[in-house]
Structure 1
Amino acid sequence: MAPMAPVVSKLYCSPSQANFIVRRRPRVINGGGFVVTNNNSQKVVFKVDGCGILGVEGELVLKDSDGESLLLIRRKGGIVQALCINRQWKGYKINFEGDEKLVFTLKEPVSYIVKKIPVKIMVEPRCNKDWDFEVKGSFQDRACSIVDSKGNIVAQVVVNNELEEMRLSKDLYHVVVQPGYDQAFVFGVIAVLDNIHNESTVC
């Protein structure tokens, strides 16, 4: 039995490996975004709106299958942020009353896309001084992994080679989440990576 590692909620931590399919949505729908389905049943598990709740650029919303908001993710802006070596994204859990609670911070190095420097992620409450998770590899090539600070693979983004017609468009890809890890958190991170690469979640 894998230990649970909830970030958003233990409801999204499965005791077994979970396989998902991500499909890009048309940009006319809430600024685009993507839909996550279960690989076996094809049922929708998560949805990501690319322009947030109010149609704001640099704001993403992760929803459950019923359309309820789970995570509100904002890119931190301002002059100070522009001068930093890292761009920051903040992920907030939303409760039924609409209150926001910070659950993770993702630091995007300004040279991430060019030099493939790993993206660092810290969760709240802080467990480590530096980082708790990082993204290694190339999201753009659909060949990357989220790993924890101990080097364990949390999730992997891969292209299904059987779907030949979809390989070049990259409108469809697979995500494998290992047992015990928070699937909602994983897709919150993937939503940020999507936006960084100017893909489906860009307004």
Structure 2
Amino acid sequence: MPVISKLYCSYSQVVFVARRTPHVVNGGGFAVTNCSQLVVFWVDGCGILGTKGEIVLRDMEGDALLLKRGRVEALSIHKRRKGYTSDYKGTKKLVFTLKEPRSCLAKNDAIRISTEPKRSKNWDFEINGYFPERDCSIIDSVSNIVPLVIGVKKEVEEVMASKDLYHVVVKPGTGQDFVFGVIAVLDYIHGESTRC
């Protein structure tokens, strides 16, 4: 079952390349290309949007697929970041909530994702690994790996010292829009290209 849309699901495994876009005046974000080097998605950071904490995932036509907003809860031990879609009328619909522990009192330090409508009681997906090192994956609640952020290829890593270019492998039947929506949130959490 796709989390956001069936339109961005594939029957076979797909490899994408994500590359950071340059920070122009208060800008930032990243672009996602397919094996033909065509831009499939791009993410606008808060500098482009002008609103701190907001990120937009766009398709190749420039249409907004997902809007991410952060939420501060004073009494919670988690930071909640919510992903919304909007219909043709502009009505926003919650599709996922990403919970990031912000306290040493949290029982588990894993970042967990709940989808709407809920698939399980507590959480549907979990981030396994560490995004800043480009070595992480998204697993579902029964430990199936959904996508895998492979990272920088060795031959490219020798040329580039930074982690501005990395590969993402998306498994068959997984919503690519959901995967890059989650990656955009991880990018923001770790203060990378989408952060002001």
TM-score, normalised by the number of residues in structure 2: 0.92
**Letter paired with 1:106:** L
SS at match of 1:169: coil
Equivalence for 2:90:
98
Cα-Cα RMSD: 2.0
Q: How many residues align?
A: 193
Equivalence for 1:190:
183
SS at match of 1:140: helix
SS at match of 2:187: helix
Question: Which deviations, in whole Å up to 9, do the C-alpha atoms of 1:64-113 show, x marking residues without a partner?
Answer: 01110000010012xxx14421100010012233221100000011159x
The answer to whether structure 1 residue 88 and structure 2 residue 80 are counterparts is yes
Contact 1:53 1:61 (C-alpha < 8 Å) held by counterparts: no
Taking a change above 3 Å as real, the CA distance of residues 201 and 140 of structure 1, as seen in their structure-2 partners, is: same
Taking a change above 3 Å as real, the CA distance of residues 143 and 36 of structure 1, as seen in their structure-2 partners, is: same
Taking a change above 3 Å as real, the CA distance of residues 166 and 133 of structure 1, as seen in their structure-2 partners, is: farther
Match of 1:163 among 135, 156, 161: 156
Q: Structure 2: where are the runs of 5+ without partners?
A: none
CA shift for structure 1 position 117: 2.3
Match of 2:170 among 163, 170, 177: 177
Equivalence for 1:153:
145
SS at match of 2:132: coil
| Greater than 3 Å deviation, 4+ residue runs | none
Q: Structure 1: where are the runs of 5+ without partners?
A: none
The whole-number CA distance in structure 2 between the counterparts of 1:153 and 1:88 is: 23
Question: Which deviations, in whole Å up to 9, do the C-alpha atoms of 1:149-184 show, x marking residues without a partner?
Answer: 111000111221121245531000010000000100
The whole-number CA distance in structure 1 between the counterparts of 2:117 and 2:96 is: 9
The whole-number CA distance in structure 1 between the counterparts of 2:79 and 2:30 is: 23
**Letter paired with 2:69:** R
The whole-number CA distance in structure 1 between the counterparts of 2:181 and 2:25 is: 19
**Letter paired with 1:95:** D
Contact 2:47 2:195 (C-alpha < 8 Å) held by counterparts: no
**Letter paired with 1:45:** V
Equivalence for 2:37:
42
Contact 2:28 2:47 (C-alpha < 8 Å) held by counterparts: no
Contact 1:32 1:202 (C-alpha < 8 Å) held by counterparts: yes
Question: Percent identity over the alignment?
Answer: 59
Taking a change above 3 Å as real, the CA distance of residues 139 and 6 of structure 1, as seen in their structure-2 partners, is: same
